[in-house]
Amino acid sequence: MNRFFGVYQLPVVVLFILHYLIFSPITWGEDSSRIAPTFKPLARPKVLSGNVDCANAIDAFWKASLKKSGLTPFPSADKRTLLRRLHFDITGLPPTSDAMKSFLEDNSPDAYEKVVERLLQSPAYGEHWAQQWLDLARYSDSEGFKIDRIRPEAWKYRNWVIRAFNDDLPYDKFVQWQIAGDEIAPTMNDARIATGFLRLAPEESNGADYTQIRQDILNDITDVTAQAFLGLTLGCARCHHHKFDPIKQEEYFEFQAFFSGVLYPDAITLSMPVTMNSRLKFFEEKTKPIRNEISQMMVPYEKALFEEIVVALDLPTQIALKTPKEKRTVTQVQLALLASKQIDRRKNKLYRRLKPEQRIVYDQAIENLVTLEKGKPMVEAYMGVEETFVIPPSTFRLAQGNVHKPKEEVQPDFPDWITTKHPTIRSTKNSSGRRTALAQWLTQPEHPLTSRVIVNRIWQGYFGTALVANPSDFGKASEPFYQPDILDWLATELVERGWSLKSIHRLIVNSSPYKLASKAKDESVLKMGNQIDPGNHQFWRGEVRRLTAEEVRDSILYASGSLNLGLHQGVVRFALPAGLMDSRYSWTPDAQSEATKMRSIYLIQRRNMPNPSLEAFDFPDRNSSCSVRSNTVTALQALALLNDPAMLEYSQHLAANILEKAPSLPSEQITFTFQALLKRNPDLIELKKSLVFLNEKETSNRLEKLTDLVHALVNTSEFLELE
């Protein structure tokens, strides 16, 4: 026994310490070193007196940072590189050849600024920047899990985000509406649609334990809201106190309590004119006898189905479903609503239980109903959240985050290490008002995180890396912070400019660090920079970045002249590869070819069936919030570009357009191809090699030859990367 303890004493002690560190609660003291700089009160930094000549304050802080580090920046990029970078970064699309020619010939001092203003006013700006937000919001057109039902109204939230960016909706409203639009502006359709942000959580509608499913949805809303708006990994405190940041477990559930009364219907009716309401009532009265006939016919089968399903569910959900609707508590209403989706889906299959003679009567009734309802006005709905009770259900701290182990009850509150204030909650006619209190607190001008987080995300969109390394984690794990003055100045500037996001975009793209070249002209500058700051945290040079998945597809379509521009209503069901068509998650492609050539943001996003072409270029998983996409370069990407039937179609279309412009001269065809894809003319070596490439092709089909050249250029780093 003594020998056992002598040999194993040290490992046992080490394991005990590790267990304590991992699983025991941390008691946070008053040590300010525990508080990350980004959690401290927001204050506007002063521009150093030596840099007052800088027109853009970003330049002043940046130059001071370089001087302190002993870094020499790269020179500015050439006009061609800069215009291509600007177009992709603002709109996600390349410049046209005419736009490039016009910019190169414009020697006026405000030539660059004019392009910036034109691009910020382009509808393509909202489509491009909405994609970054949809990554955060884990946007999808389906619910996930085994069934992965399509959510037919989800696209309205997607389009709302696009319009919000294009209209430069003040960011405080952008935040407030997504959290509490139904409470703040209940008669405004846009505000209600914005609550789709809270409705995008994955949902297991075919489950058995709806108490757990309800909690999973609440956890997702809590985690994603904190990540997207606050840059907090609040989810790390679900089971125990946060290990790095001063977030207590009870604070996690206090934050969650703001959402405890939310309902999750599949579709909510949008506001309608009084005249339409009266027409609907007319049709309801007219069809009531037939609907009653159908309903009575199905009653015994529905009752049997109800008993079959309910017996397999968790006990609280069984009780909720068996309780009369008018007597249900808020939690029972939530559980019944979630479980009813499974019941309703299986009701649609009850027809097969009817006897032959009943089917004849049923079919005739349905036929009569369809005939009567042909003139029925269309009722527009959206996917969002709502509350129907003034007093929401209780929220409890859960031991180890287990919904079946509730501890003490908690009330909605803000993290006490951010503010000492407590929420002032005012209920409305049919809502708790809790989310309104949260939304108003988040958008206070002095809030230390909200404005910092969003300007950091915008910076990331232009530089590839953010000022705070992990844009959704402003805590200790993201330290050190290399440019805190730029971050804080932009955050305060956003508030001073009325929360205008476009104003921040304008400041960033007009700054000197954004315009830097990514290639060194002076090797000594590169060598010194790599020694002092190899990670380029001081932004002393430009970064080469691969185009995003959407930019790759959209730019090929755009170059070919096939891209169908404009806001799309609904989703685009593109053609899947033959090997995926037999999947239970596949769909019938849209018959209209023009619809399939919309921008990538409009393509259907199904959680269990991601787009293979976009996935090859690191399109993120839609089951969780994504703040930073992977940026890989793999052989699979080249194969996707070469073998994807859609890519072949776009390449053929571009080749056909070029043959129309230059039907007989191969040299002109090559020049047009380079201009369309790379926005420049080929040099002599490239021209000669391209001519040899076209001449050595075995086929005599000119379209096929030129299509292969297009394919070759599409696979070049010059096309796929942004300098």
* Total structural domains within the chain: 3
Tell me what pLDDT residue 699 has: 65
Residues 288 and 247 in one domain: no
Tell me what pLDDT residue 290 has: 85
Name the β-bridge partners of 395.
410
pLDDT reading at 267 higher than 80: yes
85 in a structural domain: no
Residues 216 and 304 in one domain: no
Residues 197 and 291 in one domain: no
d(CA 64, CA 489): 14
Residue 410, helix vs strand vs coil: strand
102 in a structural domain: no
Residue (of 72, 67, 35, 26) closest to 481 by Cα position: 35
Q: Where a domain ends, among 379, 413, 444?
A: 379
User: What's the average model confidence in pLDDT over 353-369?
Assistant: 88
202 in a structural domain: yes
705 in a structural domain: yes
Residue (of 162, 164, 163) closest to 172 by Cα position: 164
Residue (of 645, 616, 617, 642) closest to 709 by Cα position: 642
Question: How many angstroms from the chain centroid is the CA of residue 417?
Answer: 29
Residue (of 537, 556, 542, 633) closest to 599 by Cα position: 556
Tell me what pLDDT residue 1 has: 43
DSSP annotation of 378: P
> 624-656 pLDDT, tens per residue?
999 999 988 888 888 888 888 888 888 999 999
Tell me: cis bond preceding 666? Omega within 30 of 0 counts.
Answer: no
pLDDT reading at 171 higher than 70: yes
| Higher local confidence (pLDDT), 542 or 24 | 542
Averaged confidence pLDDT in the chain: 90
Q: From residue 678, give the alpha-carbon distance in Å to each of 100, 101, 414.
A: 11, 13, 51
Question: Which structural domain, as residue segments, surrounds residue 340?
Answer: 273-379
Residues 369 and 414 in one domain: no
How does residue 38 score in pLDDT terms, banded at 50, 70 and 90? confident
Residues 551 and 657 in one domain: yes
Tokens of 523: 């090797």
Residue (of 553, 534, 679) closest to 101 by Cα position: 679
User: What's the average model confidence in pLDDT over 33-40?
Assistant: 71
97 in a structural domain: no
Residue 67: how many CA atoms within 13 Å on its side-chain side?
9
| Higher local confidence (pLDDT), 370 or 339 | 339
d(CA 521, CA 438): 51
d(CA 530, CA 71): 10
DSSP letters spanning 153-201: TTHHHHHHHHHHHHTT--HHHHHHHHHHHHHH-TT-HHHHHTTHHHH-S
> 654-665 pLDDT, tens per residue?
999 999 888 878
Q: Where a domain ends, among 400, 426, 452?
A: 426
Residues 369 and 412 in one domain: no
d(CA 269, CA 276): 12
User: What's the average model confidence in pLDDT over 354-366?
Assistant: 89
Residues 589 and 697 in one domain: yes
d(CA 720, CA 590): 28
Residues 563 and 636 in one domain: yes
Q: Could you tell me where the beta strands, DSSP code E, fall in 512-568?
A: 545-546
φ, ψ at 160 (rounded to 5°): -65, -40
How does residue 285 score in pLDDT terms, banded at 50, 70 and 90? confident
45 in a structural domain: no
> 400-454 pLDDT, tens per residue?
999 999 999 999 999 998 998 999 999 988 899 999 999 999 999 999 999 999 9
d(CA 647, CA 642): 7
> 114-168 pLDDT, tens per residue?
999 999 999 999 999 999 999 999 999 999 999 999 999 999 999 999 999 999 9
How does residue 49 score in pLDDT terms, banded at 50, 70 and 90? low
Q: Could you tell me where the beta strands, DSSP code E, fall in 406-458?
A: 406-410
Q: Where a domain ends, among 379, 413, 442?
A: 379
User: What's the average model confidence in pLDDT over 378-388?
Assistant: 91
DSSP annotation of 230: I
Name the β-bridge partners of 410.
395
State which of 155-169, 520-534, 592-606 shows the largest mean pLDDT: 155-169
> 480-506 pLDDT, tens per residue?
888 999 999 999 999 999 999 999 999
Tell me what pLDDT residue 148 has: 95
Question: How many angstroms from the chain centroid is the CA of residue 10?
Answer: 48
Residue 448: how many CA atoms within 13 Å on its side-chain side?
17
Q: From residue 626, give the alpha-carbon distance in Å to each of 99, 234, 266, 382, 629.
A: 33, 15, 24, 24, 7
* Widest pairwise Cα distance in the chain: 94
Residues 575 and 679 in one domain: yes
How does residue 252 score in pLDDT terms, banded at 50, 70 and 90? very high
d(CA 344, CA 342): 6
Q: Which amino acid, 659?
A: L
End-to-end CA distance of the chain: 67
Residues 331 and 197 in one domain: no
Residue 240, helix vs strand vs coil: coil
How does residue 274 score in pLDDT terms, banded at 50, 70 and 90? low
How much of the chain exceeds pLDDT 90, in percent?
71
684 in a structural domain: yes
Q: How many CB atoms lie within 10 A of CB 364?
A: 12
pLDDT reading at 28 higher than 60: no
Residues 247 and 197 in one domain: yes
Residues 404 and 341 in one domain: no
Interhelix angle for 645-661 vs 666-678, to 10°? 130
DSSP annotation of 381: E
Tell me what pLDDT residue 21 has: 44
Residue 269, helix vs strand vs coil: strand
| Higher local confidence (pLDDT), 375 or 206 | 206
How much of the chain exceeds pLDDT 70, in percent?
93
> 450-460 pLDDT, tens per residue?
999 999 999 99
Interhelix angle for 356-372 vs 274-310, to 10°? 160
How does residue 387 score in pLDDT terms, banded at 50, 70 and 90? very high
d(CA 61, CA 52): 10
Between CA 636 and CA 638, with CA 637 as vertex, the angle to 5 degrees is: 90
258 in a structural domain: yes
